[in-house]
Structure 1
Amino acid sequence: MSEIVVVYELEHPAADAERHPRRVHAAPAAPGRPDAAGPRTLCGKDTFAMEKAHSAPPGSPPTSWYPAEYASLVCPDCDAVMEV
């Protein structure tokens, strides 16, 4: 599989409120831009309004494709594709 970018589908809060992740998705990297998400997640959602997750610190081995603190928010469809 090509490079994967983790993106957050954000909540729609009231005005001036901080937006928090509502769901965590995986998306293929944009062609020629491994740091940017392509147009669609692995489950088919548009990534335009999604926020890219922060990268893990250099030298820290990833334990999964998504940040551990958002394990309960992982999109089951994206997770199923990542397990293949």
Structure 2
Amino acid sequence: MGEVLVVYELDKAAATRASRRVPRGGERPVRRVHAAPAAPGTPAVTGPRTLCGKDTFAMETTGRKPSEHPESPWYPEEYASAVCPDCDAVMET
């Protein structure tokens, strides 16, 4: 597998409001944390689908690359309770 990026599936109600532009590190209405392969030739851009098959179009890219944090879980620890179990299973293999 090539480069993988972490993306946030936001709460639908919050995704339509201006509050979506919350600064990094602030409170975010994160529904689920997913892993998505990078688009071919552009390692900072997600491909069209997460590892569990969801469309990444409306998801927020976090800029986190699990390969840059090999000693840590692939997801940000503060969102451990929101990790997609399907993406997690793929990342564990």
Question: TM-score range with shorter-chain normalisation?
Answer: 0.7 to 0.9
- Local SS of the residue matching 1:28: strand
Quick one: which amino acid aligns to residue 79 of structure 1? D
Tell me the residue number matched to 2:25: none
Q: 1:28 to 1:68 in 2, by over 3 A?
A: same
Tell me the residue number matched to 1:83: 92
1:32-80 alpha-carbon deviations (Å, 9 max, x no partner): 1111110000000000000001437xx8765011100000000000000
**Unpaired runs of at least 5, structure 1:** none
**Unpaired runs of at least 5, structure 2:** 21-28
Please state if 1:11 is matched with 2:11: yes
In 1, Cα distance between the equivalents of 2:17 and 2:57?
Answer: 21
Quick one: which amino acid aligns to residue 9 of structure 1? E
Tell me the residue number matched to 1:30: 39
State the TM-score, normalized to the length of structure 1.
0.84
State the TM-score, normalized to the length of structure 2.
0.77
Specify which structure has the bigger relative contact order, considering alpha-carbon pairs within 8 angstroms and separated by 6 or more residues.
2
2:72 alignment partner, one of 50, 63, 66: 63
What fraction of aligned residue pairs are identical, expressed as a percent?
66
